[in-house]
Structure 1
């Protein structure tokens, strides 16, 4: 739903016919015990592609679903990790850094479903946490990423960008349009 709304919002609001959006994927699912021993960024990207952005929401949802089924059964998202591992293991740091910066680039348009924040685990002694969210990466215009987190069945959308006041106005308009697209098309309150 979020990806379909993202494609439609970019098309309708900004007349941008983006046909591919990078989607962060949690690489912990490939680890033996599915957890990492500490805080770390174990993510890579899948790419959701669609044929057309001016279709109905239902049609867009179908395109997104078909694309993501193919991507989720593909392990190409691990290629970056193998490259990083080999480069930093066998080459001097200065050479690895230059090589990696040329080969691996941040996608210009992305989405990250950071996921559920477990209110049972988010504890600070005797305090009860009423609200929580995690933001995505900070981008520089024209790069753009929507991040999604959920806490106590409430979804938070965030966009983090170094921007001008006009960019800020555009981002607020984007978030409102995106939210309204979801609420209207998915009958969510």
Structure 2
């Protein structure tokens, strides 16, 4: 897309609406989300850093208002005044769930994952399982390591497409951090450029923790820290 340019580009980003609830209302188990919608244009061969700056500016603007509440408020009203069957038909006609979306799930606190026995070497949050053509990428960070994840109910061909997409994301990120970093060889399975590993952990073939997966965390103060690594995970069912 960068090689061709794009007159207008939209990126939906899920947002947790629980922050708008009072403490007494946070006991429910539900998918209480809405979306920030980032819209911007992309010039032909536009540098990644410039596109990233546009996205960051859009996200900052979205977070300064409460437009993300409009959709849920309308739905709440419709389901309150209309029969369920009528409200559902209206929802299917007027509302749509984004086919492609990205979500940053933030930094995982190792203290909340400490169960008293052993050390947590690796952790990440997975996306909801999507059926093609829907596709979602999540970003989560643990122990200074960024993990890209996508969960798919799809074929092996779909899985390879998802892996190529995540490889491309890793290459873009590495290029932005270190312009001189080399690109991964064609059909590379493990290196996505810049010396960082891009490990795959498909569902049903989970890798066990080994020396490569270990890294320093807050409990290992005083030890030298290696360059943070980025990782991708594609779950397939």
Please state which band the TM-score falls in when normalised by the shorter chain.
0.7 to 0.9
Deviations 1:76-101 (A, max 9, x none): 11012112221232222222222222
1:63 aligns with 2:54: yes
Task: Give yes or no for contact 2:2–2:42 (8 Å, CA) kept in 1.
Answer: no
1:103 CA drift (Å): 2.3
Listed one character per residue, the Cα deviations across residues 38-92 of structure 1 (whole Å, up to 9, x for unaligned) are 5432211011112115311221122112222222223111012112221232222
Answer yes or no: is 1:151 the counterpart of 2:142.
yes
Give the secondary structure class of the aligned counterpart of 1:120: helix
Aligned-pair CA distance for 1:160: 1.9
Aligned to 1:83: 74
Residues 38, 131 of structure 1: alpha-carbon distance in 2 compared, 3 angstrom cutoff: farther
Q: Which has the higher relative contact order, 1 or 2, with Cα contacts under 8 A spaced 6 or more apart?
A: 1
Shift of 1:24: 0.9
- 1:117 Cα deviation after fit: 2.2
Aligned to 1:8: none
- Using the TM superposition, give the Cα deviation of residue 120 of structure 1 relative to its aligned residue in structure 2, in angstroms: 0.8
Assess if the C-alpha contact under 8 Å between 1:28 and 1:34 holds in 2.
no
Runs (5+) with no aligned partner, structure 2: 179-226, 229-237
The structure that has the greater radius of gyration is 2
How many residue pairs match? The answer is 178
Bigger proportion of residues as helix: 1
In structure 2, relative to structure 1, the CA distance for the partners of 1:43 and 1:34 (3 Å cut) is farther
